[in-house]
Amino acid sequence: MKSSWNVVSKKMPLQLLCQLLFVALVTCIASPAQAQQAPRPKPPSLPTRPPGEVGVSSAAALRPVHLKDLINEARNAAQILNQIGYDLTHKEHRVSLRVGGEYMVNNCLGIRVITGQFGLRLPPPKGTRTEGSAIVWDFNVDRVSLYGLRVRVRPNPGHLTKPCSFGKALDVGGAASNVRLELRIDPLLDIQQCRLLSIGMVRPKWRIGGLNLKPLQNDLDKAAKVMIEEALTLSSEVALTGPIQTTINRSLQIVGGECKVIAEGNVQ
């Protein structure tokens, strides 16, 4: 009787037989290793959040508070407010007219700005108060000199066929009296870092009591007041922001692990 090996070897090609033997050998070697391999651990499950619980956002982590709220906690709140207002009086502010601006009383009576700039120094504030979350300072300026202003005036007496056009350039000068400024700010603080987070809106409101610009005719006083008040507003929004930021940051200090607003002591 012939052996099965002889039968297989005669009927099966040698190359195919070698491939089958190699596959069988690899299977015998790999199977024990796979059997001994430890099962992979399951990834840790994320902790579940109880119903209704909300995560802390980055904005909430900053804990922004209004400057007014922090000042109200201080025993010398009035001195701190006066300190911020006092620091605005240290230098002269340059005020520029809005070039090309037109200020009309009616269709045939008004002023067009060519150029103009003047200086203004604020006195110490007359009063300080809080309204809502805002801090408000009141300043009174007795007199502001206004020189070097150049405008065009309508009507134009030199143009008989088109009297409602603007005339030639005219140099004007004079003074404004009883000038009042109401300055309103609402800064936000990061009390964790004890620093100014945002200055917010700096909202100055200027009002002029009396105005005398020569050689402008008196019926242009209303338009000229609006011209000067707008120039004061636009210039002070920029000029006053920097000093306010500097004073607030300088006044913030960590005392006993808490953020406090501390006055420098030179203003009562």
The residue-averaged pLDDT of 244-263 equals 87
Predicted confidence at residue 93, as pLDDT, reads 87
Q: Which amino acid is at 123?
A: P
The residue-averaged pLDDT of 174-186 equals 95
Query: Which phi and psi (to 5°) does residue 215 adopt?
Result: -95, 40
The segment with the largest mean pLDDT, out of 31-40, 66-75, 110-119, is: 110-119
Torsion over CA: 83, 89, 91, 96 (sign): positive
Predicted confidence at residue 226, as pLDDT, reads 95
Q: 196, 249 in Cβ contact below 8 A?
A: yes
According to DSSP, residue 90 is labeled S
Q: Which of 201, 221, 220 is nearest to 209 (CA)?
A: 221
Predicted confidence at residue 212, as pLDDT, reads 92
Q: 217, 203 in Cβ contact below 8 A?
A: no
The pLDDT tens digits for 12-41 are 555 555 566 555 554 555 555 444 555 555
Q: 251, 116 in Cβ contact below 8 A?
A: no
Q: 81, 128 in Cβ contact below 8 A?
A: yes
The residue-averaged pLDDT of 190-198 equals 90
The residue-averaged pLDDT of 45-53 equals 42
The residue-averaged pLDDT of 162-176 equals 93
Q: Where are the domains of the chain?
A: 62-261
Residue 232 has pLDDT above 60, yes or no: yes
Q: Which of 28-42, 120-134, 237-251 has the lowest mean pLDDT?
A: 28-42
Burial tier of 236 (Cβ tally within 10 Å: 0-12, 13-18, 19+): buried
β-bridge mates for residue 112, sequence order: 102, 152
